[in-house]
Amino acid sequence: MISNIHKPNIVIAVFLISGSIWAISPAQASVTIPYSPQIDILNTNSMMNASTSTSTTTNTAANTATSTDAVSLLENTASPTIAINAIKVWQENGDFNRKLKRGSKGNDVMVLQIILKSLLNDKTKWTMTNNFGPKTESALRSLQAKLNVPITGELDTVTKSVVNELVYKELCPTAVRKIGVDNMVESDFNKVFENLNRSTSVPLDYIPQDLTRVLNPIKTIGVMCVSERIVRHLDEMIGDAKKQKLDIAITSSYRSAEMQKFLYSLWINKSGNAAKAGIAEAGHSEHQLGTTIDVSGKSIGYAGVSPSFANSKEGKWMAQNSYKYGFIMSYPDKKQKETGYIYEPWHFRYIGVDNAKDIFTDKITIQDFLNFSTATTTSSSTTPTTSTSTINVTSEGTGTEPSGVNDMIATTTARFL
């Protein structure tokens, strides 16, 4: 098990180097992180050091520019490629939320150094520290020139907004929308009911068309985005848990196929086939659908993907109540034969309130439900079924079935959202 990575004021940057997993700590010590098939890379708390530099702030145009100016600059700037490990580090630590300049110290300085090295495609050896020194300033000036923003050598208002937006767009990309309701439903909406498993996948380039950032009052550990259709259900579920004095946070949400490939390769390189029991290959992860979350609780320090969540008060509440909000534990205990994955008490997928109720009541898995429902609707494509285990859907906003969708959706009751 990975230990000691949830301590306050510590950030660990993980890279895949020559088949090994290396961690760079603020103390500049390189250590190998022990493997656990149930531990996801960099599931640390969002623990950005919010302290401010004591140096005098320079009053430049860049420092007083508005966020609108930054967005305008960004829209006219070609996005550089960002390495997937740099994206992951930024996600786990959250947005840059303060000005950084020569003399600044903190975890966010190290994250900035990692991103600068990636954005500049710098092949030289860097010593990642939490100190903003001459090399960081020089690199930041180079990036500002590349992004066509005021060159100040500081992570000022404009540069901070642009860098945050650049990384966020890589983490939560915008899908190319297809014109027409039918195309939208066929290319995106049906993926809600994709029965992902070891043999079934979605295209590697699939991106949900309605990804949106998860914001307050929903607590997240780092930056998270999900399908917009599940946000109100998340809000209601976590809000109701809060009324019971239970603090639940999202520790993982949407993942691109590229991110999944990175995580998969990381653990396979470290521990071989033993890792496969706890992680899906790219294209096979429910996280790519945008309707799946990993959660944790305050009582266990918001530890990510932790088996201890099962016996925590938050974990017990989720296991007994998540279905009321449309969420079902995808990989329950003693169901590895059916699901293909080890027990993951933290992993929940939105499947619709009525569908979730059926799954919970019948004590079956999502996989069994989708297999049965697909078989039922396929065999009776001209006659609607009245089975309790029939997928229930509705098109967004209309409350009615859209036309031109596949037989499975066309023959089911419209009550998904």
Q: Which domains does the chain have, with CATH numbers?
A: 13-171 (1.10.101.10), 181-354 (3.30.1380.10)
Yes or no: say if 348 and 318 are a contact pair by the CB < 8 Å rule.
yes
Q: Which of 157, 34, 40, 164 is nearest to 91 (CA)?
A: 164
What does the pLDDT profile of the chain (417 residues) look like in tens digits? 323 222 223 233 333 322 323 333 333 322 222 223 332 323 323 322 322 222 322 333 333 333 344 344 334 444 557 889 999 999 999 999 999 999 999 999 999 999 999 999 888 888 888 999 999 999 999 999 999 999 999 999 999 999 999 999 999 998 876 555 444 444 566 677 899 999 999 999 999 989 999 999 999 999 999 999 999 999 999 999 999 999 999 999 999 999 999 999 988 888 788 888 889 999 999 999 999 999 999 999 999 999 999 999 999 999 999 999 999 999 999 999 999 999 999 999 999 999 999 999 999 999 999 988 665 544 444 444 334 445 555 433 333 333 332 333 333 323 333
| Confidence (pLDDT) at 191 | 77
Judge if the upstream peptide bond of residue 217 is cis by omega within 30 degrees of 0: yes
| Confidence (pLDDT) at 320 | 98
| Confidence (pLDDT) at 68 | 42
Q: Which of 137, 154, 286, 344 is catalytic?
A: 344
Instruction: Report the alpha-carbon distance of residue 402 to residue 40 in Å, rounded.
Output: 38
Instruction: Report the alpha-carbon distance of residue 105 to residue 107 in Å, rounded.
Output: 7
Instruction: Report the alpha-carbon distance of residue 58 to residue 7 in Å, rounded.
Output: 34
Q: Extract the tokens encoding 225.
A: 């985005």
| Confidence (pLDDT) at 80 | 56
Q: Which of 174, 72, 163, 150 is nearest to 116 (CA)?
A: 163
Neighbours of 265 (CB within 10 A): 17
401 is catalytic: no
| Confidence (pLDDT) at 190 | 65
Decide: helix, strand or coil at residue 243.
helix
